Structure 1
Amino acid sequence: MFAPGIVSDSAVMFRRVLRRSVRGRDTLLVSLLLPILLMLLFVYVFGGAIDVGMRYIDYVVPGVILLCTGFGSSITATGVATDIRTGAVERFHTLPIHRQALLTGHVVEGVVRNLAVIGVLIAVAVVLGFRPHAGLGAWLAAAGIITLFVLAVTWIAVAMGLLARMPEAAGGFTYAIMFIPYISSAFVHTETMPAWLRGFAENQPATPVLTAIRGLLTGTGQQAAGVAVLWCVSLAVAGYAVSAVLFGRRYR
């Protein structure tokens, strides 16, 4: 159960973080341009040399979506660390607002921002030739998995922001999130990897999430959808729990 007033307090914090993100237009632009540039790189430079059994752009778009989420998470982690570094959290604690509203505001803003950027990314992919064969139900299922993944990554980014001593370090911590999709089925089949690496690639969260999204969008089925949802929910709960513990210890 939510405590009375937490929704309105979280909405206030969300608007505050959103205004700060909008003012940081350079950061927003980079978080959008980098995934698009990577998509262009893989499609037009490496795509002709990589055989994945289907049009490469249709294969690679889900991987770029996950990379986009990783880039966006660095903004959230840096924002949380900045609030701590500048003393904003202490000032908010003197006001009659719920403690968890600040973190919730960061999470909601991160999810909304990431989904908006992913929407732009998919539109660009369609212009480049991405042709999903999904019906309305499959699109909604894919959107649900993407949203769950974004939520999970955003909570993990909040925890990293709370762990970091400096905003720059918080952004650096999220490199691990950005790196994970590279060691998955994002850009090549895991069967092409050495055996010692394939085991990790096939049993980490990015691969089932990618398999589920790719299957739904290309009309090849709902493979790994249940596993993907389980991974996303588990990571979101873990990120929330760690964030709550760290925030509680820092601001008793």
Structure 2
Amino acid sequence: MSTATTTETKDLAPVSAESLAALLVGGARPPRPSAVSASLTFGWRAVLKIKHVPEQLFDVTAFPIMMVLMYTYLFGGALAGSPTEYIQFLLPGILVMSVVMITMYTGVSVNTDIEKGVFDRFRSLPVWRPAPMVGYLLGDALRYTVASVVMLTVGLILGYRPDGGAGGVLAGIALLVLFAFAFSWIWTMFGLLLRTEKSVMGVSMMVIFPLTFLSNVFVDPRTMPGWLQAFVNNSPVTHLASAVRGLMDGDWPADEIAWSLGWAALFVLVFGPVTMRLYNRK
């Protein structure tokens, strides 16, 4: 038996590298996905995560409703005489504040996937390297839009009436979502840089709270001390809130829109390359 097996083994022809490659690669490889296609695929993955874990929509539904109701009835009578009068000033600002605050969950999601080891698989795929990061942000852009629609619906019920009509409202939301997309690059960087999701959330809150509360979201900065006005008037959140408020009121605040777009471009140009460098080295 042993002799027969040895004879059969000697009769086998050696396998060449070419024949082995022909066996492993039976046909033409599929084309490599484009940057847009890969980013949209990862964006769809982010949407599917919301489908399977619907609790993720809590921060873009219940949280915005709570914010609108709380600040309208808490400050409306003291600052504007009535909640109905105050909401005309407040709603665009609180809309900006809420969307900017929920951008930090992008970094939390990135950090969670890193802890699970998902990113190791992403880096081995033959796709455009920034696609996973861009996909996260595209998926979150949907969440920002949902939050905006929810808050506007509540505002309309409470008496908010945008003088800019549907066109002004859509322009304001588009500017807000674009800014939030760019602003989220900061939190993706923290998601890659910090070790735990609690650290990401803690650092994010330390940055977001001063930016959002020290702004013109709630009151006109002219009522503030001079030293505080210098900070508030140059805050990116102030420029964004002024631009969104102006668009929804039917105006075209070109300076504020330009400042908002400039801040958005700065965030992408600065934090985008840093994020990708950390992603490649993580």
Q: What is the TM-score of this pair, normalised by structure 1?
A: 0.89
Paired residue for 2:185, among 155, 173, 182? Answer: 155
- The 3 A distance-change label for structure 1 pair 177 and 131 is same
Question: Runs of 5+ in structure 2 lacking a partner?
Answer: 1-31
Q: CA deviation at 1:43?
A: 0.9
Structure 2: distance between partners of 1:121 and 1:114: 11
Q: Which residue of 1 aligns with 2:274?
A: 242
Q: Which residue of 1 aligns with 2:75?
A: 46
- Residue range with higher mean Cα deviation, 84-93 or 228-237: 228-237
Q: Which residue of 2 aligns with 1:23?
A: 52
Q: CA deviation at 1:109?
A: 0.5
Q: How does 1:1-252 map to 2 (within 5 A)?
A: 5-51=34-80, 55-135=85-165, 137-175=167-205, 176-222=207-253, 224-250=256-282
Structure 2: distance between partners of 1:33 and 1:239: 30
Structure 1: distance between partners of 2:259 and 2:78: 31
- The 3 A distance-change label for structure 1 pair 136 and 125 is closer
1:134–1:218 Cα contact (<8 Å) kept = yes
Structure 2: distance between partners of 1:75 and 1:69: 11
Displaced runs of 4 or more, over 4 A: none
1:191–1:198 Cα contact (<8 Å) kept = yes
Q: CA deviation at 1:141?
A: 3.2
- Spell out, residue by residue over 1:12-62, the C-alpha distance to the aligned partner (whole angstroms, 9 max, x if none): 21122222233332232134222221211111111110149x921011112
2:72–2:86 Cα contact (<8 Å) kept = yes
- The 3 A distance-change label for structure 1 pair 40 and 140 is closer
Structure 1: distance between partners of 2:158 and 2:77: 15
Question: Runs of 5+ in structure 1 lacking a partner?
Answer: none
- The 3 A distance-change label for structure 1 pair 137 and 124 is closer
Q: CA deviation at 1:212?
A: 1.2
Larger Rg over CA atoms: 2
Letter matched to residue 164 of structure 2: A
Structure 2: distance between partners of 1:178 and 1:32: 20
Q: Secondary structure at the match of 2:103?
A: helix
- Spell out, residue by residue over 1:44-82, the C-alpha distance to the aligned partner (whole angstroms, 9 max, x if none): 111110149x92101111222122223321321111001
Structure 2: distance between partners of 1:4 and 1:12: 10
Structure 2: distance between partners of 1:132 and 1:230: 26
Letter matched to residue 121 of structure 2: R
Q: CA deviation at 1:107?
A: 0.9
Q: CA deviation at 1:220?
A: 4.5
Structure 1: distance between partners of 2:209 and 2:60: 12
Q: Identity rate of aligned residues, in percent? A: 30
- Spell out, residue by residue over 1:160-210, the C-alpha distance to the aligned partner (whole angstroms, 9 max, x if none): 211221122222222122441110000011112222222111111011111
- Spell out, residue by residue over 1:115-134, the C-alpha distance to the aligned partner (whole angstroms, 9 max, x if none): 12211211111111110010
RMSD of equivalent CA atoms: 2.3
1:107–1:154 Cα contact (<8 Å) kept = yes
Q: CA deviation at 1:221?
A: 4.4
Question: How many residues of Structure 1 are paired with residues of Structure 2 in the alignment?
Answer: 248
